Amino acid sequence: MNASALLLQPQDYSLLTDLYQLTMAACYVGEGLEQRSASFELFARRLPEGFGYLVAMGLEQALDYLEQFCFTSEQIAALQATNIFANAPSRFWELLAESRFSGDVWAVPEGTIVFADEPLLRVEAPLWQAQMVETYLLNALNYQTLIATRAARLRDVVGDEAALLEFGTRRAFSPQASLWAARAAIAGGLNATSNVLAALQLGQTPSGTMAHSLVMALSALEGSEEQAFTAFHRYFPGAALLIDTYDTIAAAQKLADRVKAGEIQVNAIRLDSGDLVTLSQQVRQLLPHTLIFASGDLDEYEILRLQSAGAEIDGYGLGTKLVTGAPVNGVYKLVEIDGIPVMKASSGKVTYPGRKQVFRRYQNGVLEADRLALSTEPPQPHETPLLQPVFKQGKRLY
Amino acid sequence: MNASALLLQPQDYSLLTDLYQLTMAACYVGEGLEQRSASFELFARRLPEGFGYLVAMGLEQALDYLEQFCFTSEQIAALQATNIFANAPSRFWELLAESRFSGDVWAVPEGTIVFADEPLLRVEAPLWQAQMVETYLLNALNYQTLIATRAARLRDVVGDEAALLEFGTRRAFSPQASLWAARAAIAGGLNATSNVLAALQLGQTPSGTMAHSLVMALSALEGSEEQAFTAFHRYFPGAALLIDTYDTIAAAQKLADRVKAGEIQVNAIRLDSGDLVTLSQQVRQLLPHTLIFASGDLDEYEILRLQSAGAEIDGYGLGTKLVTGAPVNGVYKLVEIDGIPVMKASSGKVTYPGRKQVFRRYQNGVLEADRLALSTEPPQPHETPLLQPVFKQGKRLY
């Protein structure tokens, strides 16, 4: 396997799908039904544990995918070589060879708050196309929506002033996951990411402090933790200092002495272990003009606990519990075929038939109520329809 | 942002890092310490909840990264434009421009069982290089190790005969995550993946059944669920039929009648909802020669529950709970610098100093004991050292 294997190029997009999308498409072709007009809606039946809302995110990548959708002759040959399609109609291969996404898409704008059962997106396209794009659309929207929602929940908890930094790259589920997480986290309310590539791709400035390894290496080679801090400030004046490598309070005490002596300026420190409540309070007393950052398996629940216990923390690094964990379980369901509303009746997974719209009503700028209705129903007074056209006959509208 | 933004090309590898790796490297250069020999070890302090072991995975992608490691002049210019490095020594940029990974790497082979605190990998390299590669190495090994371990646990539970299929792409945390998950799942013990791109990249045949949408669309357009099944079998004879769209037992009963009448052959069916214990038993009675596949938020615990409750299931589709959830929290820690063993003493995060080896002893083919020792210690009788050289002076050994 060469070095680029298991990376993803834009031309790979169309094969990033479950096999059954292709076999079902072949069946539709064989039955002569592939061009029938189909509508699928993407929504979450239930929100993740404890979540009251979702922040829709990932539409940009979803639309990138639809724009690029096509099959190369090499890809078609690779599919044929599997022998899975030995009995598929030859017209299926012609369809793939000439394929472009030619449908309409309606979606809520990125950043929109949505609730359970409310469509984030609806695809109206020839049946085989609408079917085939399911896997990638879910992949694109499920993860970024999760991260943007968590980011919004974190911002809710800490208020406007506190810094929230995305530090999750090492724990993200693949390099690309770290890029998508950084994008969605910033869109959802975080201030910055430590991921250099993500920050540069997003037009942001990356953020970061220092690691224990620098303190350990320079302590060993130059003699002390103090010298490590001084050395780092030579090249990054004012950079946050990580003070918990050996003894947090001893480190803070020494820094306080040096601040008093005018030897160093300590704009910010980071705590990454121990009892963050007590430590942050003690550091605040020793270094009253220093910003205190905390990290280490933090999430909105732990931050709430720290706040209510009186921790003195000005900023948070979010990693593992921001970028991993339980997902948004979005699904993509057929709601109408050839003008016929359809539904499934599976136990616990019943769907609502027909093409739908979410009508949202605000009262004094506050969301008062949503009404999930058929898309053909007119809005009532003071209602705004959330789903907007983003693709029209295969052409991206924004 | 163009369509390829937030995708990852091999030349992006080096910027897929936390900012502090670059600022620390600049500091090492300024202090004249960047070429000092440093050893970092990658290990997990604690295993995920309920796990008794890890299956090391992801080394191939980690080594791909080290082989590709370099900075282009465009990347260097982009870093300079951030102004973060305004006080960094100019020698830092020269170092980046000429950078190649020139160190040694020791690692346990992919598929090796490891326990808490046992290094999966050790990097011995000039300090700045060993520091810089931390983020990507953790990203590569943490996720694939998680998935391979879950796959092994699933295989343990179901035994050698049952089919285990990876269906997680729609819930994976980015497209690339779905590729890495498929690779690690198959390496860890699953039979196949539904992800077409992953299967083709891995030289495997993709696997799959059918979705509710096909049953709904063909029921609406051709008249009945029965016709949907018949249509699908025209192009994919013997393919597994999804029978829970409307009424699982009614569907199984009709299929049983048609089997008796010689009208259809039902090799396999899939259940995706409802009480899988009762439903699978009833389907087994109706269709005694049909393989029964189950899916729907399954994991090793739920499968154990199904088995002990007497479910009649021959194969499982694993999605959400295989590819998302709590991570392996691998860390990468400096253990020696310039011949000096080092450790951190942070509360709850103390590390063991010095370069280490894992000596494993087998008794009659069964793992009897591991001994975590300094790498300079000789093996005792019947012990095998787990960490093997995989990179020597910047050259990949396999």
Q: Do B274 and A346 touch (CB under 8 A)?
A: yes
Which of B34, B205, B346 is the best mutation test for A, with the most CBs of A within 10 A?
Answer: B346
Chain B residues close to A247, C-beta within 8 Å:
345
Residue B195: per-residue pLDDT: 97
CA of B179: which chain A residue's CA is closest? A6
In this predicted model, what pLDDT tens digit does every residue of A77-102 receive, in sequence order? 999 999 999 999 999 999 999 999 99
Long-range contacts made by residues A6-9, C-beta under 8 angstroms, separation at least 24? Answer: A6/B61, A6/B176, A6/B179, A6/B180, A6/B183, A6/B198, A6/B201, A7/B7, A7/B8, A7/B9, A7/B10, A7/B176, A8/A176, A8/B7, A8/B8, A8/B175, A8/B176, A8/B179, A8/B197, A9/B4, A9/B7, A9/B9
Chain A residues close to B320, C-beta within 8 Å:
327, 329
Chain B residues close to A1, C-beta within 8 Å:
60, 201
Q: Which of A228, A269, A208 is nearest to B30 (CA)?
A: A228
What interface predicted TM-score (ipTM) does this complex get?
0.96
In this predicted model, what pLDDT tens digit does every residue of B134-173 receive, in sequence order? 999 999 999 999 999 999 999 999 999 999 999 999 999 9
Q: Which of A78, A76, A80, A66 is nearest to A13 (CA)?
A: A66
- Where in B232-294 does DSSP place strands (E)? 241-242, 268-271, 291-294
pLDDT at B4 over 90: no
Q: Do B324 and A323 touch (CB under 8 A)?
A: no
Q: Does residue B312 contact residue B281 with C-beta atoms inside 8 Å?
A: yes
Q: Do A236 and B87 touch (CB under 8 A)?
A: yes
Residue B7: per-residue pLDDT: 67
CA A156, A159, A161, A163 torsion-angle sign: negative
- DSSP code of A379? P
Helices A248-260 and A276-286, interaxial angle, to 10°?
10
CA of A67: which chain B residue's CA is closest? B3
When pLDDT is averaged across residues A146-171 and rounded to a whole number, the result is 98
Q: Does residue A384 contact residue A108 with C-beta atoms inside 8 Å?
A: no
CA of B329: which chain A residue's CA is closest? A171
Q: Give the three-class secondary structure for B239.
A: coil
When pLDDT is averaged across residues A114-143 and rounded to a whole number, the result is 98
Which residue among A6, A20, A343 places its CB closest to the CB of B183? A6
| Alpha-carbon gap, residue A183 to A177, rounded angstroms | 10
Task: Name the pLDDT band for A364 (thresholds 50, 70, 90).
Answer: confident
Domains, chain B, in order of start with CATH, read 10-146+326-396 (3.20.140.10), 153-323 (3.20.20.70)
Helices A175-188 and B134-158, interaxial angle, to 10°?
110
Residue B57: per-residue pLDDT: 98
When pLDDT is averaged across residues A282-305 and rounded to a whole number, the result is 98
| Alpha-carbon gap, residue A373 to A379, rounded angstroms | 9
CA dist B111 → A14, B178, B204, B287, B359 (Å): 31, 19, 18, 38, 16
| Alpha-carbon gap, residue A280 to B215, rounded angstroms | 59
pLDDT at A115 over 80: yes
pLDDT at B71 over 90: yes
Residue A360: per-residue pLDDT: 97
Which residues are registered as beta bridge partners of A114?
A54
Residue B238: per-residue pLDDT: 92
Q: Do B18 and A139 touch (CB under 8 A)?
A: no
Q: How far is CA B220 from the centre of its chain?
A: 40
pLDDT at B122 over 60: yes
CA A103, A106, A110, A113 torsion-angle sign: negative
Residue A363: per-residue pLDDT: 87
Q: What is the DSSP string of B301-357?
A: HHHHHHHHTT---SEEEE-HHHHSBSPP-EEEEEEEETTEE-----TT-----S-EE
In this predicted model, what pLDDT tens digit does every residue of A59-80 receive, in sequence order? 999 999 999 999 999 999 999 9
Residue position matching structure tokens 């012609």: A94
Residue B29: per-residue pLDDT: 98
Residue position matching structure tokens 């006080």: B87
CA A331, A335, A337, A338 torsion-angle sign: negative
Average pLDDT of every residue of chain A = 95
Is A129 buried (19+), middle (13-18) or exposed (0-12) by CB count in 10 A?
buried
Q: Do B213 and A333 touch (CB under 8 A)?
A: yes
Kindly report the backbone phi and psi dihedral angles of residue A222, in degrees, each rounded to the nearest multiple of 5, phi listed first: -115, -10
Task: Name the pLDDT band for B343 (thresholds 50, 70, 90).
Answer: confident
Q: Which of A297, A325, A294 is nearest to A311 (CA)?
A: A294
| Alpha-carbon gap, residue A51 to B67, rounded angstroms | 43
Residue B33: per-residue pLDDT: 97
When pLDDT is averaged across residues A340-355 and rounded to a whole number, the result is 86
Count of alpha carbons within 13 Å of A322, Cβ hemisphere only?
A: 36
Helices A175-188 and A134-158, interaxial angle, to 10°?
50
Residue B2: per-residue pLDDT: 43
H or E element that contains A37: strand A37-44
| Alpha-carbon gap, residue A221 to A218, rounded angstroms | 5
Q: Does residue B320 contact residue B173 with C-beta atoms inside 8 Å?
A: no
Which residue among B38, B143, B275 places its CB closest to the CB of A173? B143
Which residue among A15, A131, A348 places its CB closest to the CB of B213? A131
Task: Name the pLDDT band for B93 (thresholds 50, 70, 90).
Answer: very high
pLDDT at B59 over 90: yes
In this predicted model, what pLDDT tens digit does every residue of B183-220 receive, in sequence order? 999 999 999 999 999 999 999 999 999 999 999 999 99
Q: Give the three-class secondary structure for B21.
A: helix
